[in-house]
Amino acid sequence: MCYNKKMNIFAALGLLLLIGYLGGRLANRINLPRVSGYLFLGVLLSPSLLNLITNEHIRAFSLIPDFILFIIAFTIGGGLKMRELKGLQKSIFYITAFEASFAFIMVTAGLYPVLRYILKIDDPFITALFFGAIASATAPAATIAVIREYRAKGPLTQTLLGVVALDDAAALINYSIALSLAYMIKTESSAVFRMLAEPIKDIFLALALGLLAGFLLSRGLSAVKTRYGYLTVIVGTITLLGGIANHLGTSPLLANMALGFYMTNDLRVPRTAFNVIDEIEPTLFVVFFTLAGAHLELRNLLHGTLIIFLYIILRLLGKAIGVMTGGAASNAPKTVRKYLALGLAPQAGVAIGLALLLNQEAHFSGQGRFIIDVIIGSTVIYELTGPLLAKLALTKAGEVKENA
């Protein structure tokens, strides 16, 4: 009996890979992002519809999203190459800080009264707080694909590339802060200093762990001679670092982001070290997004239509205000201040991952279940409209090549 159960779980995993891949190909055929196909097929396989991926399977796969998120966090850090951001650092850092913060604040403040007085859910402020933290994240893949497709070049393009790389890092930091504050509220702690100090301590501990791991790994890689060796050592380090961070009660995502950041900015590390991760990412994304779609409960999604609509509007409004404020503070070009926010619309991997991660937290599994449905619902809309908005921004800024 146990053997058959294991076979069913393996069959479900194989189905996720094959059907998810098919969904991505079909989405590309109709000019949609692959992630939309993964999500749609995941929903089709879910307990809400065909039930080919059951709740038992989802529970058995509970560690997979965490592992894939460790890899995603590493690649986010790996995208922050300081030498490529030269000359634009001020605008990029100011704009990222303001737009991520405004999205956090606007979504939290805007959703709280609705969650409390209209939907009357438990712990409305904590739920709004998590929505706000996740709102900071941006999906870079769709925006970058548009930039490459239309061979866009100019100050808006360069600033946009830097901001989308830093955006998910800001989301990880905001999530860590929100999680610590939520624990303080849940345990009814009245120590204000501790409420402020705890997230800061966790963030610095995670970053220190990641930088230390990067220092050790960059030197250890000199003994590695093959692509297989790079892949094994790097994935092993990412996983070990995530486990240590979890054990110490700090963020494994921030730790792995710091690891990737150190590695990409250490000139002694060969680019092959990142190329081997790039080769396995597409397969990991198929599993990640298809499994995320399988988490969706259509009944809850229908009940959350109002929140999905408000979340989308408040997030985009927060990012737009933040871009204008940060752009003015850093004296960014007018085209950057005017159009950059359109390129920050897409949201997918890290946002869904943080919602899935929250669902694993024993204290907040109720909020996590609701947030997953809303984030997946909004992601489908963002992934359909995001590339079009990014193209519009680049075209309005005059950075799209005419013959592209």
- What local confidence, expressed as pLDDT, does residue 216 receive? 92
At 10 the pLDDT is: 84
Q: Is residue 29 part of a domain?
A: no
| 78 or 145, greater pLDDT | 78
pLDDT at 1 over 50: no
Q: Give Dmax (Cα) for the chain.
A: 67
Range of the domain at 161: 63-396
Which strand (E) or helix (H) includes residue 206? Answer: helix 192-220
Residue 153 lies in a domain: yes
Report yes or no on 261 lying in a domain: yes
Cβ-contact 342, 99 below 8 angstroms: no
pLDDT for residue 190: 53
Question: What's the length of the chain?
Answer: 404
Other Cβ atoms less than 10 A from the Cβ of 191: the count is: 10
Least confident of 37-46, 101-110, 129-138: 37-46
pLDDT-based confidence at residue 196 (cuts at 50, 70, 90): low
Per-residue pLDDT band for 209 (boundaries 50, 70, 90) equals very high
Query: Which CATH number characterizes residue 293's domain?
Result: 1.20.1530.20
Amino acid at 164: V
Q: What is residue 6's predicted lDDT score, i.e. its pLDDT?
A: 52
DSSP 343-362: HT----HHHHHHHHHHHT-G
Q: pTM of whole model > 0.85?
A: no
Please indicate, yes or no, if residue 23 is contained in any of the structural domains: no
Burial class (CB in 10 A: 0-12, 13-18, 19+), 307: buried
| Integer Cα distance of 314 and 325 in angstroms | 16
pLDDT of 275 strictly over 70: yes
Contact predicate 16/292, CB 8 Å: no
> How far is CA 155 from its chain centroid?
25
What is the token pair recorded at 272? 């092959």
Q: Is the model more confident about 268 or about 111?
A: 111
**Domain contains 11:** no
User: With 80 as the cut, is the pLDDT of residue 85 above it?
Assistant: no
Whether the Cβ atoms of residue 326 and residue 97 lie closer than 8 Å to each other = yes
Dihedral pair phi/psi, residue 398, rounded to 5°:
75, 30
Instruction: Classify residue 344: in a domain, yes or no.
Output: yes
Within-domain flag for 194: yes
- Residue pair 210/254 in contact (Cβ under 8 Å)? The answer is yes
* Number of domains composing the chain: 1
* Residue 298 belongs to some domain of the structure: yes
pLDDT the model gives residue 25: 87
* Residues 226, 247: Cα–Cα separation, whole Å: 31
Q: What is the pLDDT of residues 300-347, one digit of tens each?
A: 666 678 888 899 999 999 999 999 999 999 888 888 898 898 888 877
Q: DSSP 3-state assignment of 320?
A: helix
Q: Report the half-sphere exposure of 152 (CA within 13 A, side-chain side).
A: 27
Most confident of 114-128, 372-386, 389-403: 114-128
